[in-house]
Copies of this chain bind each other. A is one copy, B any other.
Amino acid sequence: MSSLPARADGTRAEILRAAACLFRDRGYHAATVRDIAAVAKMKAGSIYYHFASKDEILAEVLDLGIERIHAAVRDALAALPPKSSSIEAIETAIRVHLEILLRYGDFTSANIRVYGQIPEAARRRSHPVRQAYADCWTALLTRACRDGVVRGDIGVKMLRLLLVGSMNWTVEWYKADRGPVEDIAGSVSKLFFEGVLTPEARTRWLRRRGKRA
């Protein structure tokens, strides 16, 4: 239920794809309208038949990126068997987030990379869409917390920021030759759920922590 099909007459979609790709690779300012046009196999002037300004392209790329990943995660969660545990829900969300981000992810990764570097106005504009996706994760983690599955001493907001952050950062280092996205998703889940300590080290560590508290 992404908003892409709505106005995707082909050319428009092509321009958006080109823009997302260039924004991602070079940043918003360094990607010129001429560059975008070239990738979309047109001349710069033609862009303005489809979009009023470069800013409008940016706005659409940003929203599409989040909406796409949000929709995929939402659909995957809805498709889970009704009695699934909140742990399975998180596992699923991790896998789908990474799949969209790394496999079909020009829009999403463009979003992740340029968001911190665009004018305040553009940020405010796309804030609602971002917030909606953040809320999705908050709900997921809050439920897990209430179910007694996830620890309550770190705080749901912090957990979300750290977890989603480590996933988002993958756009900085992932290359297709690093193995399938599923493996990364598996590592993220393992690490997030179990932590990194071996059983023996864990026992020692918890004992020490206990003493301190």
Contact = CB atoms under 8 A, between A and B. Distances in A.
Interface in A170-204: 170-173, 184, 187-188, 190-198, 200-202
Given A26-B117, A117-B30, A195-B192, A201 B161 contact: no
Contacts of A195: 191-196
A193 to B, nearest CB: 5
Interface residues of A, number: 49
B196 A27 contact: no
Contacts of A79: none
Contact of A166 (B116, B154, B169, B201): B169
Contacts of A197: 87, 149-151, 193-194
A155 interface: yes
Given A113-B117, A162-B169, A192-B195, 11 more contacts: A25-B117, A26-B117, A30-B117, A116-B171, A149-B198, A159-B196, A161-B173, A162-B188, A165-B168, A166-B166, A193-B202
